[in-house]
């Protein structure tokens, strides 16, 4: 083949250009740690990486929701534990009154004790987490229970029966609150026919004051029903908490496999990149060396 | 035969080799000139003496009378020029497409930066957070802030794509101006070439210049040459003549309804069919790809606005308001914004399904649920529609890049072949220069010897008086 001078320079330049381009691409991969630096590097991979990244953002949000729900349930549980303890104490006072040996003064002291327990239970029922009332249903911005000892029933509920649903997975929701009407059986919301806890305690107090043993016994029976209802609610809260734990485990599994898939999709293989870089460097140097030899070659050199 | 004819013979050799040396010098001078084809002085012996049929006199036959340069031939490259112009048109089109798409790709998916999909994800995340804290004003402020950021990102993207299209108007105008100038220059060269050919001259360098112009014209328009070696070649663009012999037909740009420039023939105003070259690439990006991407972006934006609004309107704000839009209704990507009512007061963000339910986040939750809902007209989710757009831009960029590279390789290869046939080799020119120099020296020597021989006759046979 006849070789003209412009062929030599054109050839050298195009090869050096190609090698430089490869070096640039490898250098970009190594600097960013990614083999996909723009969609056109690998359109399918880029779309998959974007989908995985979006799913990861979703998982992170579900994790936040779950942690938040766990907090709320834990607070609900401790409030319930406190209420159960207070109800038990009120029940003990009632039991002490009903055994019959007590005189009026003792019974009055017991009645005052029950009254105190009632007030404490209302305080516990108005528990809040940073201004968010736990037992108000959807009405979370005001104390749902208000106490007026002189009134009948002594406690009124201003909340509703709304259930706060948190999403802890794609279309998997957990209710993270207990509405106050359910907990304390306001207006028979949980068990129709049974009076609410506060009214029960109030009539226990009244019967202690009046010494009506039959009424005392009725109230004590009702308190037992309330206690078992409260305990089943605690079990319910515990179960929901476990459900959230399970969801969190599942989410961290998903997160792991998504991160793994993201890494496999878009992360550069550094070892491979380094080896390739070395190879391209060698090619570049060889081409440059050839260029310097070719530049000196020519009949002209020998004709001087 | 005269005794002096040897002097004439030697003189023809001196002249012919000087001219051959001149041609070699011209080649050496143009070793780096693009489009230059090597020229060669064709030496041939002059007609013998006496002409056949005339009286021979005392001579023993026909006697040579020296050498002459019969023509300066331009190196031929067969049909390579034709192929080169075809690949130049393809290269022009694909590399223009690729360069424009790379810019669009950097706008749609800034490397290392945030793209619209991430903002969309964050928007849904804030709705999720709001669903867990519907009574928390800071969660509402976050929802509004992400809504504003998302609307701004849609607007920014749409505006950038539109300004790409607007910038292409200038580029297209520039291309058309260049095409008109080159076509006129080609027509002018055609005239000079025709005149020179009529006078029996070899217009080698003019042909080189015309080839360069034609290649650039093909690169710009994909125009094809009919009858390449004809003195009056016709350059065909989409079925019409751009250059016909010594006449050039001008193109002109007309602003279309969408504000994009259209290319028409100046003569009768008909639309020019540009199917190749840089101009076709520019037109394709401006009138096909950008509108396609913008259309998809607008569909995503208007679906998002409509879906979020319809859920939001059904909900209730902390302040008891209902029927409020989240985004300004009916907006497209370009003019998307968060509704004024929400900009005035975040309490109006509707997270609850009923009034006076500050702890109810169910509407916020259903808005967050739009993330994976198949709400797009094509049945995909908003995020998927965005990723499909991303993939479309990526694929278009990749394909145009691969095609540009293939065209570049083919073009390089053809250029190499052409250079192999018609390029200047300094070694070759040096060798020929040596050859010509020796011939010149020898001719001079013949002249000196003839001079000595004549001196013998003049000085010895006719001594000075």
Residue pLDDT, tens place only, B362-416: 999 999 999 999 999 999 999 999 999 999 999 999 999 999 999 999 999 999 9
Q: What pLDDT is stored for residue A304 in this prediction? A: 64
Contacts of A42 in chain B (CB under 8 A): 394, 398
Overall residue count recorded for chain A in this entry = 304
Residue pLDDT, tens place only, B62-101: 788 899 999 999 988 778 888 888 899 999 999 999 999 9
Can you say how many angstroms the Cα of residue B145 is from the centroid of all Cα atoms in its chain? 44
Report how far residue A33's alpha carbon sits from residue B367's, in angstroms, rounded to the nearest whole number.
Answer: 36
Q: What pLDDT is stored for residue B47 in this prediction? A: 87
- Given a contact cutoff of 8 angstroms between Cβ atoms, the answer to whether B108 and B391 are in contact is no
CB contact (8 A) between residue B387 and residue A65: no
Domain count, chain A: 1
Residue pLDDT, tens place only, B173-223: 999 999 999 999 999 999 999 899 889 888 999 989 998 999 999 999 998
Residue A48: which residues within 8 A CB-CB, separation 6 or more? A261, A265
Q: What pLDDT is stored for residue B227 in this prediction? A: 65
Domain contains A39: no
Q: What pLDDT is stored for residue A228 in this prediction? A: 95
- Given a contact cutoff of 8 angstroms between Cβ atoms, the answer to whether B120 and B299 are in contact is no
Domain contains A29: no
Report how far residue A242's alpha carbon sits from residue B325's, in angstroms, rounded to the nearest whole number.
Answer: 39
The CATH number of residue A231's host domain is 1.20.1330.10
Residue B227 CB burial class (10 angstroms; 0-12, 13-18, ≥19): exposed
Domain contains A157: yes
Q: What pLDDT is stored for residue A193 in this prediction? A: 87
The yes-or-no verdict on residue A114 having pLDDT over 70 is yes
Residue pLDDT, tens place only, B101-128: 999 999 998 876 678 999 999 999 999 9
Per-residue pLDDT, averaged over A224-242, amounts to: 95
Q: What pLDDT is stored for residue B303 in this prediction? A: 95
Domain contains A171: yes
The yes-or-no verdict on residue A168 having pLDDT over 90 is yes
Contacts of B431 in chain A (CB under 8 A): 299
CB contact (8 A) between residue A5 and residue B31: yes
- Going from N- to C-terminal start, the domains of chain B cover 5-75+428-461, 84-409
Which one has a higher pLDDT value, B49 or A175? A175
The yes-or-no verdict on residue B60 having pLDDT over 70 is no
Residue pLDDT, tens place only, B230-275: 567 788 898 899 998 899 999 999 998 888 899 999 999 999 999 8
Residue pLDDT, tens place only, A71-88: 999 999 999 999 999 999
Contacts of A133 in chain B (CB under 8 A): 359
Contacts of A5 in chain B (CB under 8 A): 31-32, 423-426
The yes-or-no verdict on residue B462 having pLDDT over 70 is no
Domain contains A118: yes
Per-residue pLDDT, averaged over A99-106, amounts to: 79
Instruction: Name the residue of chain B whose CA is nearest to A304's CA.
Output: B430
- The number of CA neighbours under 13 Å toward the Cβ of A275 is 4
Q: What pLDDT is stored for residue A223 in this prediction? A: 95
Residue B56: pLDDT band (50, 70, 90) is: low
Residue B313: which residues within 8 A CB-CB, separation 6 or more? B322, B323, B324, B325, B350
Q: What pLDDT is stored for residue B57 in this prediction? A: 60
Q: Average pLDDT of chain A?
A: 91
Report how far residue B83's alpha carbon sits from residue A108's, in angstroms, rounded to the nearest whole number.
Answer: 114
Report how far residue B179's alpha carbon sits from residue B185's, in angstroms, rounded to the nearest whole number.
Answer: 10
Q: What pLDDT is stored for residue B58 in this prediction? A: 60
- Given a contact cutoff of 8 angstroms between Cβ atoms, the answer to whether A187 and A153 are in contact is no
**What percent of chain B is modeled with pLDDT above 90?**
72
Residue pLDDT, tens place only, B148-182: 999 999 999 999 999 999 999 999 999 999 999 99
Q: Answer whether A169 touches B (CB < 8 Å).
A: no
Q: What pLDDT is stored for residue A19 in this prediction? A: 93
Q: Which one of A1, A45, A138 makes the best mutation probe of the B interface by having the most chain B beta carbons within 10 Å?
A: A138
- Given a contact cutoff of 8 angstroms between Cβ atoms, the answer to whether A39 and B461 are in contact is no
Q: What pLDDT is stored for residue B433 in this prediction? A: 92
Residue A149: pLDDT band (50, 70, 90) is: confident
The yes-or-no verdict on residue B228 having pLDDT over 60 is no
To the nearest whole Å, the CA of B110 is away from the closest chain A CA by 8
Q: B327: closest CA among B315, B343, B345?
A: B343
Put simply, whether the predicted model's pTM sits higher than 0.90 gets the answer no
Report how far residue B14's alpha carbon sits from residue B437's, in angstroms, rounded to the nearest whole number.
Answer: 10
Per-residue pLDDT, averaged over A256-281, amounts to: 94
> Which domain, by its residues, includes A130?
52-260
Pairing of strands B240-244, B234-237: antiparallel
Per-residue pLDDT, averaged over A165-172, amounts to: 91
The region that residue B43 occupies, defined by phi over 0 for left and psi between -120 and 50 for alpha, beta otherwise, is: beta
Domain contains A88: yes
Does a cis peptide bond (omega within 30 degrees of 0) precede residue A153? yes
Of B128, B395, B427, Cβ closest to residue A299: B427
């Amino acid at each position: 083949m006849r070789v003209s001078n412009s062929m030599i320079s054109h050839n050298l330049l195009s090869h050096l250009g190609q090698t430089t381009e490869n070096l640039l691409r490898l250098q970009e991969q190594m600097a960013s740690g990614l083999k996909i630096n723009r969609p056109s590097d690998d359109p399918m991979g880029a779309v998959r990486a974007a989908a995985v990244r979006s799913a990861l953002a979703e998982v992170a949000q579900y994790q936040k929701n779950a942690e938040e729900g766990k907090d709320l349930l834990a607070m609900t549980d401790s409030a319930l534990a406190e209420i159960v303890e207070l109800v038990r104490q009120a029940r003990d006072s009632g039991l002490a009154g009903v055994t019959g040996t007590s005189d009026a003064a003792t019974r009055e002291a017991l009645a005052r004790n029950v009254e105190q327990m009632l007030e404490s239970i209302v305080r516990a029922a108005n528990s809040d987490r940073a201004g968010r009332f736990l037992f108000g249903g959807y009405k979370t911005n005001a104390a749902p229970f208000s106490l007026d000892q002189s009134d009948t029933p002594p406690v009124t509920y201003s909340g509703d029966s709304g259930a706060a649903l948190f999403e802890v997975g794609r279309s998997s929701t957990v209710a993270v609150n207990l509405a106050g009407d359910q907990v304390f059986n306001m207006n028979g919301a949980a068990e129709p026919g049974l009076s609410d806890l506060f009214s029960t305690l109030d009539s226990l107090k009244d019967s202690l004051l009046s010494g009506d043993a039959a009424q005392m016994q009725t109230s004590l029976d009702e308190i037992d029903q309330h206690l078992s209802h409260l305990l089943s609610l605690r079990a319910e809260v515990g179960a929901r908490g476990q459900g959230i734990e399970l969801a969190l485990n599942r989410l961290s599994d998903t997160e792991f496999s998504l991160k793994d898939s993201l890494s496999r999709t878009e992360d550069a293989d550094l070892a491979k990149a380094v080896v390739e870089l070395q190879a391209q460097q060698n090619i570049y140097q060889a081409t440059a060396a050839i260029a310097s030899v070719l530049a000196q070659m020519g009949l002209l050199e020998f004709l001087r | 035969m005269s005794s002096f004819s040897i002097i004439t013979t030697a003189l023809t050799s001196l002249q012919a080799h000087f001219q051959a040396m001149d041609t070699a010098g011209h080649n050496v001078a143009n070793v780096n000139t693009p489009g230059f084809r090597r020229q060669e002085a064709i030496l041939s012996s002059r007609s013998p003496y006496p002409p056949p049929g005339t009286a021979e006199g005392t001579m023993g036959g026909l006697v040579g009378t020296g050498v002459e340069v019969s023509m300066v031939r331009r190196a031929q490259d067969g049909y390579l020029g034709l192929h080169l112009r075809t690949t130049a048109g393809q290269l022009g089109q694909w590399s223009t497409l690729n360069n424009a798409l790379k810019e669009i790709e950097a706008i749609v998916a800034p490397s290392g930066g945030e793209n619209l999909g991430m903002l969309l994800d964050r928007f849904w995340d804030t709705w999720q957070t709001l669903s867990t804290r519907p009574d928390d004003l800071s969660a509402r402020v976050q929802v509004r802030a992400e809504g504003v950021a998302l609307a701004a990102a849609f607007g920014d993207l749409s505006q950038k794509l539109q300004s790409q299209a607007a910038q292409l108007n200038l580029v297209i105008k520039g291309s058309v101006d260049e095409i008109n100038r080159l076509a006129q220059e080609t027509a002018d060269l055609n005239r000079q070439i025709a005149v020179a050919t009529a006078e029996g001259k070899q217009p080698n360098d003019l042909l080189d210049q015309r080839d360069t112009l034609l290649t650039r014209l093909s690169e710009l328009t994909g125009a094809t040459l009919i009858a390449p070696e004809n003195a009056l070649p016709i350059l065909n663009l989409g079925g019409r003549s751009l250059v016909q012999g010594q006449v050039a037909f001008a193109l002109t740009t007309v602003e279309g309804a969408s504000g994009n420039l259209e290319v028409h023939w100046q003569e009768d105003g008909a639309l020019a069919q540009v199917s190749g070259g840089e101009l076709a690439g520019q037109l394709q990006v401006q009138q096909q790809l950008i509108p396609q991407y913008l259309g998809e972006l607008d569909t995503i934006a208007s679906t998002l606005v409509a879906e979020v609004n319809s859920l939001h309107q059904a909900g209730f704000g902390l302040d008891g308001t209902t029927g409020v839009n989240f985004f300004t209704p009916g907006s497209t990507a370009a003019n998307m914004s968060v509704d004024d009512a929400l900009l005035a007061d975040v309490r109006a963000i509707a997270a609850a399904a009923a009034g006076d339910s500050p702890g109810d986040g169910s509407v916020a939750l259903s808005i967050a649920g739009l993330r994976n809902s198949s709400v797009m007209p094509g049945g995909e989710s908003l995020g998927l529609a965005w990723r499909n757009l991303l993939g479309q831009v990526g694929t278009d960029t990749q394909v145009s890049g691969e095609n540009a590279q293939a065209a570049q390789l083919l073009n390089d290869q053809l250029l190499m072949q052409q250079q192999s046939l018609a390029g200047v080799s300094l070694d070759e020119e040096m060798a020929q220069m040596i050859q010509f120099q020796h011939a010149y020296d020898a001719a001079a020597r013949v002249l000196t010897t003839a001079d000595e021989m004549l001196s013998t006759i003049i000085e010895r046979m006719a001594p000075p008086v």
